[in-house]
Every structure is written in C-alpha cells, then in structure tokens.
Chains A and B, each alone.
Chain A
Amino acid sequence: MSALLSIRDLSVDFALGSWLDIGARRQLNILSGISLDLVPGETLGLVGESGSGKTTLARAILGLQKLSGGTIQFEGAPLASPSDFARVRRRTAMMFQDAVSSLSPRMAVGEAVTEPFAIHREALADRRQTARDLLAEVGLRPEIASRFPHELSGGQARRVGVARALALRPALVIADEPTAGLDVSVQAEILNLMADLKDRLSLSYLIITHNLALVRHVADRIAVLYLGRLVETGPSEKIFARPAHPYTRSLIAAEPIPDPRRRRADLAIKGEIPSILRRPGGCVFHTRCPIAKDRCKTETPAPRREGAHQVNCHFADI
C-alpha cells in the first residue's frame, strides 16, 4: 500500500545564539537520519525519553519546524512550499500534550471545535449544530459548547481536543502524549474513544509518548528515538516480544510488571541521558550501552533490517 506519510533522512537543527551573530551561529542538531513510513489505517507509536526529539518531529511534519535536510511526503506529494503545509495542516490534526492549554482561553468550546472550518474556509451550514454533533461524537453533552477551557476537567478538555482534531475528517491524527495528566480510568476512556473513532473514520495515528504500556496497547508499529536518532523500528508485537536494540530492551525491562512474585530482569542501562549539547559520537547510545565495544565510540551504526524490523546497532541480534 502506498504510504500516507513518508519521511526520508530528515534532519532538524536549531540555531543557537542571537540572530545578530550572522555566520557565527552555532547549530544544534536535534534530529538526523530519520526515515519513517506510515500507511493508511496504521497506528505508529513514536517512543523516546523527553528531549529525544519526538515533538520536534511532529512539528516538522506540520511545517512548524524548518527542516535542515531530508524530505517529507504526505499523501504522495512532497511538502515544500507554504501551500503544501496548508494542505498537510488541513488533512492532519494534532492533539497537544496539555489539552487545557492547547485551547484558546477566551474562546468558547463550541467555537473552538468548529474553528478548523473557519481556518480552511470550509462551508458550514449550521455552526451550532456542527459543534453539537462533534461534541456528541466524543461523548460530550451539548451544554459544553458554551463553556470556556478553564471550566473543563482534564478529561473533558482532552475530548474537546479530539473533537476539534476530527472536525475536518483528517487522514492523520498526531497525538502528543494523549493520556498525559489523566486518571487511569479516564486514560482508558480516551484510548477507547480514539480506537473507536479510528475504526469509524479510518484514521491513521502517530502517537508520541514515553509511555510503553500505552504503545503496547494501541500501536501497530513502533519507532524508538534516542537523542534524535532512530534506534529501532518494527511491528509492535515483534519489538515487545524480542527487542533487538539494547536501549529498547532496557526500556521494556524497566516497565513495571504487575506480579509481585516475578523478579524484574536487572536494568542493564546505566546513568542519565546525555545532554543533547554533548551528543556522544559514533553510536549515540554507547555511553550507556551494556554491550558497547570500542567500535561503537567511533562508528555510527548503519541500519540493519529483517523484514519490517530495523535496528541501528553494530552488535544487536535481529
């Protein structure tokens, strides 16, 4: 099947310092060598610690972040000019990590959920009715339409975010930590709602999270980011059953096991995540890797693949 979203060798740099130091500005590399595909109807989980560049990648897809290299194709056409990004923003919806603060504080919910129509100049016969329908779709009562964001609970705000994301029937929904800050019961409700809507509206999801349990629950495929590099991608079941990269292995080993009699495997990973300002050379993970050898300090591992499963490591068994 042809890819909905296809990212090739993407890199993003941030410029450090003032705009006045022309020529002398330092570039801080955030992401590099990112290649990912997303097929229609698929849920891709993008996993990584904070600072690994997950959110920057989402921003790059929407054209909110300039690329330093690589290409992004959306629905078969490359994204380059502002009109391309207008198209991708029309067909892609983003749900932000903080649901309350991603709603305009002085705009009533009913207006907020129908705003995508106004932005993209889509005809709207009855704005009030559309708002009520969208809210009903995510299980909210119509009275919510006249509320303001600070009057909503976390779960309600999250549902409003989902309603707004679905307003224009997007092809792709990017969800940044969709369950952050919610009670466990509400988390489950939101995930069920998202799964339900996915089936009904044949959506694709790109779910950005550090929460492995969430990814295991919803994702068809997983991509693991570490310090702005992809370390492993592959089908969810395969990665959870047999993680290849030592980083993925330690992430999965660090997950709590809800059984007091089972002993957790020793955490192989050591130390803190290095600062992105001092990214290790060679393989970015070598400073914390239990199986690192001298070669890892100097040589960046090339991707090795078996079927859909791909790992960037010199020594991992795939």
Chain B
Amino acid sequence: MSSGADRSLLRSLVSDPMGALGLVLVLLFLAMALFAPWLAPADPVKLDVTQKFQPPSLTHWAGTDQLGRDLLSRIIYGARTAVSIAVTSVGLAGLIGLLLGMIAGYGPRWLDAILVLLFDSLSSLPMILFALAVITVIGPGTSTLILVVVIVSIPGYARLIRAQTLGLSGADFIQAERAMGAGPVRVLLRHLLPNVVGPLVILLSMDIPVVIMLEAGLSYLNLGVRPPTPSWGNILYDGYTSLRSAPYMVLIAGLPLVLSTLGFTFLGEGLRDALDPKLRHGVPR
C-alpha cells in the first residue's frame, strides 16, 4: 500500500473521536512500556521496609506496597511486562494463524479438512483450564503464558483468514489472476494477503487487551509472571491482600488495566471502520 493510502487511513482513524482516544491511550501505554527505565522514578524491585504502605505523596506519587517498593515504578514496569507478553503472543499467533488460514483456504481440500480438524480440536480447549494444565506440566512463567496464548488463539485467527480466503478464492479477480498465469505464491501474497489482513489486524488489536487481562489474571493467581517481576496482576494481588491497610493499591493497579483495555478496544473499532475501503470516504457503495 502506498504511503498516501496510509496517511488517509490515519486521518480517518483520528477523525473518529473514539478511535483517536484509543490511539492516544495505546500510544501512552506503549510509551510507558518502551521507556520504562527512563520514566520510572525508582527501581521497581528495590525493597525499603521502612517505607511500606506509604499512601500517594510527592516522593511516591502512587504510594508504596507492603515491601516499600515504589508503586508508580512497578506500574510502569508492569506495562512493559504486559506489552511484551501480549504483543509477542498475539503477534506470533496472528502470524501462524494467517499462514495456516491462507493455506487452508486456498490449498487442496484434503489439506483444508486436516487443518480445520486441527483448529476445531485446539479451540475446544477452554483457555483457563488449558493454561492451568500447561502450567502444571512445565511450570509457571512468561514463556508458558506466551505458549498458552499462542496455541489457544491460533484457531480463531486461522478460521477468520480461512473464511476470508475461501470467500475470495472464487472471486473474479483471483480467477483473472489465474487466467493470466499467476502462480499460487503470487496469488496468495500479492492478491489474497492484502485483502484478508484487514479483519485480522482488527481482531488482533481487540485481542491484545484479552491477553493483558489473562496475564493479570494468572499473575494474580500466582500462576503467571513470577514475583518480583512487576506485573499488574501481581500488584493487584498484593493490593488485595493488603486491602485494609492500603486500599489505594488495587485502584492504582486496576486503572492501567482498564485504560489499556479500553484503548485497544477503541483502536480496534476505529481501525475496523477506517480499514473498510468502501466506507473510507464516508460514502457507502
């Protein structure tokens, strides 16, 4: 796609207030993750028991936890944990799903049948139970989390891409390409890919908050990211156990979770509207 098309995509994204808000929230969140070492006022894992349960103040903007660690720094580093897990796992699952979905949709029917069977078996796994089973076998941790998310989300992406590909493979322009002598690689990469990725991008951006929530949830249950690595789920758990002495902790850990979820959801919806070429100029055909 040319840069002109990209500019008009961005323009139509920010012209929608919800999409613009989503974009701002997501950018803030990504900046937090990316520049954590420069943004964080203190070391997120440095203990100072004399300073425990400090409410928000000028020295500790978001207060401290039961071990006297600076909460704002932990939140900022928690964003880094959340982003790296969500983006890695969703990106990896999206890439594999795209590949398998296009092969299933455009390849021979027997291969399609095998792949669909695989997708159906994978998606029959309930995410939390499957996660617990994998954690039991290979132990909790970041890579376990990524593995679980990748395996569980591949079928959804692959099905979406397969349906898109299947729908398009009978389309006139694909027939025309084949009639001109285009081989399967050209048809898949030059003609099917640009027309099937749009919905996938939307789905991926809407799934990132789901993974962030899953990471927080599992970390809350002490099954995700291992302490002392800062994670919003760990902070929430610490806040929950000290709810009486430091009620601000759950609020401070919950807020970024809510805002990042909203941000990615708004961005996904904004992208959905902006990416539809027929709606782009506001004149439905």
Contacts and interface: CB of A to CB of B under 8 A. Distances in A.
Interface of A: 19-20, 59, 62, 64, 85-86, 89-90, 93-94, 96-98, 101-108, 115-116, 118-120, 148, 150, 164
Given A89-B180, A105-B195, A150 B172 contact: no
Main secondary structure on chain A at its contact with chain B? Answer: loop
Interface string B168-194: 000111011111111100100011001
B172 A98 contact: yes
Contact of B178 (A20, A64, A108, A148): A64
A119 B1 contact: no
B277 A104 contact: no
B244 interface: no
A106 B180 contact: no
B161 to A, nearest CB: 16
B11 interface: no
B173 A105 contact: yes
Given A19-B110, A119-B186, A150-B278, A104 B179 contact: no
B181 A105 contact: no
Q: Which of A101, A105, A118 has the most CB of B within 10 A?
A: A105
Contacts of B277: 105-106, 148, 150
A90 B181 contact: yes
Interface residues of B, number: 25
Q: Which of B110, B182, B183 has the most CB of A within 10 A?
A: B182
A104 B113 CA distance: 28
Given A93-B180, A105-B277, A64 B175 contact: yes
A150 B156 CA distance: 30
The 5 tightest CB contacts between A and B, nearest first, are A89-B181, A102-B172, A102-B176, A101-B172, A94-B179
Given A19-B110, A119-B186, A101 B173 contact: yes
Main secondary structure on chain B at its contact with chain A? Answer: helix
B276 to A, nearest CB: 11
27 contacts: A19-B109, A19-B110, A59-B179, A85-B181, A86-B181, A89-B179, A89-B180, A94-B180, A96-B179, A97-B172, A101-B172, A104-B190, A104-B191, A105-B173, A105-B277, A106-B194, A107-B190, A115-B177, A115-B180, A115-B182, A116-B180, A119-B177, A119-B180, A119-B182, A119-B183, A119-B186, A150-B278
B179 A64 contact: yes
B7 interface: no
A62 B179 CA distance: 6
Contacts of B1: 106
Contacts of A119: 177, 180-183, 186
Interface in B72-122: 109-110, 113
Contacts of A150: 277-278, 285
Nearest to A174: B179
Contacts of B194: 106
Contacts of A94: 176, 179-180
Q: Which of A98, A102, A164 has the most CB of B within 10 A?
A: A102
Contacts of B110: 19
A110 B97 CA distance: 32
